[in-house]
Amino acid sequence: MPQDIVKNEVDIGDVVFEWTVKEYEQHERDRRWYILTGIVGVALVSYALISGNYLFALVLVLFAIIMFMHDMVEPMDVPVVITETGVVIGKKYYRYSELTNFWMIYNPPTIKNLYFGLDGFIKHRLQVPLLDNDPRPIRDHLNQFIEEDLVQEEEPLSDRISRLFKL
């Protein structure tokens, strides 16, 4: 099953934890959200056209089209597998050596996320919703292989803004 995910290219070891998450969180938006967003969008495009900033106007229109198309598509199910040798998210396998650290933000019922820090030129993080999984055994298992970042106690600002504006 998880072996099929990475197409037998790598031995991912024995599965310790496994669950399925949605590709992205699909927010419930009411009519008021669409009206307010439309008003702000029209105001910004009008400002861009009046000020002669046509590139900004084009970016705003493209952003609106992308948001509309994104809203019409149902998010896919993505398997999350924590194994003895690494983590599989979707079709991508991350060895523990590729992950710099991990942290959990667990404030039920709204925030139950597991984050992984990636090493690289651009500091990037992977966010995995824990859903109804108990975070303690997952934390205990991951602590054996990678360092837990105990400084991170709050959800990243980008995630809070995304949830606040339902993006």
Residue 166, domain member (yes or no): no
Q: Which domain holds residue 43?
A: 31-72
Helix (H) or strand (E) holding 86: strand 86-89
Do residues 101 and 47 lie in contact, with contact meaning Cβ atoms separated by under 8 Å? Answer: no
Residue-wise pLDDT tens digits, 18-73: 999 988 887 788 899 889 999 999 999 999 999 999 999 999 999 999 988 888 88
49 shares its domain with 64:
yes
100 shares its domain with 147:
yes
End-to-end CA separation in angstroms for the chain = 33
Residue 145, domain member (yes or no): yes
142 shares its domain with 120:
yes
pTM of the predicted protein model = 0.76
Residue 164, domain member (yes or no): no
Assign 140 to helix, strand or coil.
helix
Number of domains in the chain: 2
Phi, psi at 69, each rounded to 5° = -65, -40
